[in-house]
Amino acid sequence: MDVLVENREVFVSGFWVTFQICVLSATGALILGTLVAAMRISPVAPLRWVGTAYVTVFRNLPLTIVFFMTGAAFAELGAPNADLLKIPGLSSVFTRLGIELPYFRFAIVALGVYTAAFVAEAIRSGVNAVPAGQAEAARSLGLTFTQNLRYVVLPQAGKAAVVPLGSVIIAMIKNSALAGAFGVTGELFSNGSALTSAGGYPIVPVFIGISLGFLVMTVPLGLMLDRLEKRRAAGR
Amino acid sequence: MTTPVLYDTPGPIARRRTTIVSIVLGLLLLAAGYFFLYRPLAARGQLSPEKWGPLVDPANTNMPLVWDRLATGLLATLQAAALAILTSLLFGTALALLRMQLRALSHRRFGGLPWIVAFALRGLSAVLNALTRAAIEVGRGLPVLVTIFFAWRLSGITNPMWPLVIGLTIYNGIVIAEIIRSGMDGLPYGQREAADSIGLTPGQAVRLVLLPQAFRVMLPALISQLVVILKDTSLGFIITYEDTLAIAQQIIQVLDNPIQLYAVLGVIFIAVNYALSRLATFVQRRMSARAGGQVIKRPPATAAESGQLPLA
């Protein structure tokens, strides 16, 4: 256990980087995913096709390929450093966003774009959970498509989508470990594996340290969702 | 709720408007594709036959070599995935049964035994229950990558396929156990009572009555989990397993065509996983069509007649 105490800086800073990746890509995924979900239920057929295609592609691609593709695509599309993500205000809070090496930004794009497909599905399942009578009633009151969504369907869908969305975010937090294997130095997993290989530290304590870092994020979120789900089930 | 509920069936004006919007959007997409994808890619020679030829042009001399290597990789991926699917299902079922047993134990009072033995047994079952729950929470909360990586480093097995399978099994087995357990919990309580009343032991009741039905009900969820396993198998290259992606990297070092190669691999993965997802939807639809949406909530007599229940 001395390893943990001795290297607590490494674990804490790793946790912080992982946390930044998670917050940024979750935000991106939620925004993009909501857009995709809106496309999938829109009255304009081509928009629906685009939405469906997006979800089909990213739900069935392994995240590893998305990561590889992101790096290669940015390079070949003329933005090898993904500089457009060096958003001035944001990179002062999330310091990693503004650094020279592009891998942190690649990771956020890959993770966000991938997770957005699952976010879209979660939101759509929430919309599907709203009884049809609600939307019909709104239609018969003369609400337009956007009014219908905004005042009647989405507020109710939001409630039903919270639990699936939570599971998506938990999965995303776990997937963020992949960033460490794709060149994001200083991330929790890459920090830990560096300790065992280059540092020569024993494996078990390092494993415990990494695990704690992830479990601190995933387990409370999971328990919260379980409670929410039970309360919902009882309330129904 | 089906989506058309959200808006009226379009009339002539709305249809015209939709057509116009569609055409404009389509043109915009095409233009965006041209300016932001085609032009930069073409300018960097990414659409050239040197990059694509080895992958898609049968006349190219490299094509058989490249696909021979890729086939080796895909086979390795499929092999690990198949193994992981098998072991996850076995481990998941065993874990679900263990948890059912432990839960049944925690309700037992051990009457008839001396009080101190009964007390010790109840304490033991509570401890075991808590331990399995904690192990499950940890296994579920850890990234698969971390599980695989440390299965590799801790076990010291030289063939990296086994740590990959072990890591995938730990995570997916737990998820599958939860799927099966919730399937068994969702069965009508009468099933359990009926099994008890014809004199089956608790073990027999689970094995012969509850488990087969839980598998049926949860089949779509199980198939979706198989897609997850197949996708996660592609993590193998991180622990030096010679899978599709490891071989892809070797090919890229020679041919320098990452975009093209990953695009082709992406299409392959999407095709396989999409087929699996369609299978899940198909199974789900067939099951709900057959039983009017209530697969298991039919009267036991009819169920027995149609061979729904394995009668012991």
Residue A88 scores a pLDDT above 70: no
Residues B9, B94, single domain; the answer is no
d(CA A69, CA B131): 41
Residue B191 C-alpha, separation from nearest chain A C-alpha, in angstroms = 22
Residue B309 falls within a domain, yes or no? no
> What element of type H or E holds B90?
helix B62-107
Give chain A's radius of gyration (CA, Å): 20
Residue B208 falls within a domain, yes or no? yes
Note whether B154 contacts A207, CB cutoff 8 Å.
yes
Residue A163 scores a pLDDT above 90: no
Residue A235 scores a pLDDT above 70: no
Looking at this protein, which amino acid is placed at residue A20? Q
Lowest mean per-residue pLDDT among B3-17, B39-53, B139-153, B293-307: B293-307
Lowest mean per-residue pLDDT among A74-78, A225-229, B164-168, B171-175: A74-78
| pLDDT at residue number B90 | 93
d(CA A173, CA B144): 11
Residues B203, B78, single domain; the answer is yes
Residue B151 scores a pLDDT above 50: yes
ipTM: 0.84
Partner residue opposite B142 with nearest CB, options A59, A68, A211: A211
Residue B292 scores a pLDDT above 80: no
> How large is the average pLDDT for residues B249-269?
84
- The CATH number of residue B281's host domain is 1.10.3720.10
Highest mean pLDDT among A91-100, A189-198, B63-72, B93-102: B93-102
Residues B71, B160, single domain; the answer is yes
Note whether B22 contacts A46, CB cutoff 8 Å.
yes
Residues B284, B261, single domain; the answer is yes
Provide, rounded to the nearest whole percent, the portion of chain B with pLDDT above 90: 12
The residue with greater pLDDT, B73 or A88, is: B73
Residue B297 banded pLDDT, cuts 50, 70, 90: very low
Residues B19, B62, single domain; the answer is no
Residue B270 falls within a domain, yes or no? yes
Residue B49 falls within a domain, yes or no? no
The residue with greater pLDDT, B293 or A117, is: A117
Residues B170, B23, single domain; the answer is no
Exposure b/e, A58-75, CB count within 10 A at least 16 = b:
bbbbbbbbbbbbbbbbbb
> How large is the average pLDDT for residues B222-237?
88
**Looking at beta carbons, which pairs linking B276-283 to residues 24 or more positions away fall under 8 Å?**
B276/B223, B276/B226, B276/B227, B276/B230, B277/A59, B277/A60, B277/B223, B277/B224, B277/B227, B279/B223, B280/B219, B280/B220, B280/B221, B280/B223, B280/B224, B280/B227, B281/B220, B283/B219, B283/B220, B283/B223
Lowest mean per-residue pLDDT among A75-79, A123-127, B152-156, B293-297: B293-297
Q: At what angle are helices B161-185 and B115-141 packed, to 10 degrees?
A: 120
Q: What would the pLDDT profile of A132-151 be if each residue is shown by its tens digit?
A: 888 888 888 888 878 888 88
d(CA B129, CA B221): 25
Residue A227 scores a pLDDT above 70: yes
Residue B312 falls within a domain, yes or no? no
Residues B102, B170, single domain; the answer is yes
Residues B28, B140, single domain; the answer is no
Nearest chain A residue to B9 by CA: give it: A43
> How large is the average pLDDT for residues B67-85?
88
Residues B38, B141, single domain; the answer is no
Token pair, residue B100, equals: 């059912």
| pLDDT at residue number A32 | 94
> How large is the average pLDDT for residues A93-99?
68
- The CATH number of residue A49's host domain is 1.10.3720.10
Is A160 within 8 Å of A229 (Cβ atoms)? no
Residue B293 scores a pLDDT above 60: no
d(CA A90, CA A105): 12
Contacts of residue B88, defined as CB under 8 A and 6 or more positions apart, other chains included, come to: B168, B169, B172, B173, B176, B225, B229
> How large is the average pLDDT for residues B242-267?
84
Residue A53 banded pLDDT, cuts 50, 70, 90: very high
The residue with greater pLDDT, A182 or A118, is: A118
Nearest residue to A105 via CA among A97, A113, A95: A97
| Residue A216 sits at the chain B interface (C-beta within 8 Å) | no
Residue B281 falls within a domain, yes or no? yes
Is A94 within 8 Å of A24 (Cβ atoms)? yes
| pLDDT at residue number B83 | 93
Range of the domain at A18: 2-235
Note whether A139 contacts B5, CB cutoff 8 Å.
yes
Residue A94 C-alpha, separation from nearest chain B C-alpha, in angstroms = 23
Which residues in A lie closer than 8 A to residue B234 (C-beta atoms)?
62, 64-65
Residues B13, B150, single domain; the answer is no
Residue A128 banded pLDDT, cuts 50, 70, 90: confident
Q: Is the dihedral of CA B137, B140, B141, B145 positive or negative?
A: positive
Q: How far is CA B264 from the centre of its chain?
A: 22
d(CA A7, CA A17): 16
Residue B295 banded pLDDT, cuts 50, 70, 90: very low
> How large is the average pLDDT for residues B280-301?
62
Nearest chain A residue to B232 by CA: give it: A62
Residue B245 scores a pLDDT above 90: no
Residues B11, B155, single domain; the answer is no
d(CA B92, CA B244): 27
Lowest mean per-residue pLDDT among A90-99, B21-30, B78-87, B89-98: A90-99
Range of the domain at B137: 55-304
Residues B64, B159, single domain; the answer is yes
Nearest chain B residue to A41 by CA: give it: B3
Note whether A64 contacts B8, CB cutoff 8 Å.
no
Provide, rounded to the nearest whole percent, the portion of chain B with pLDDT above 70: 88
| pLDDT at residue number B286 | 82
| pLDDT at residue number B298 | 39
Residue B133 scores a pLDDT above 90: no
Mutate to test the interface with A, among B146, B182, B255 (most CBs of A within 10 A): B146
CB pairs under 8 A between A and B: 150
Structurally, chain B folds into a number of domains equal to 2
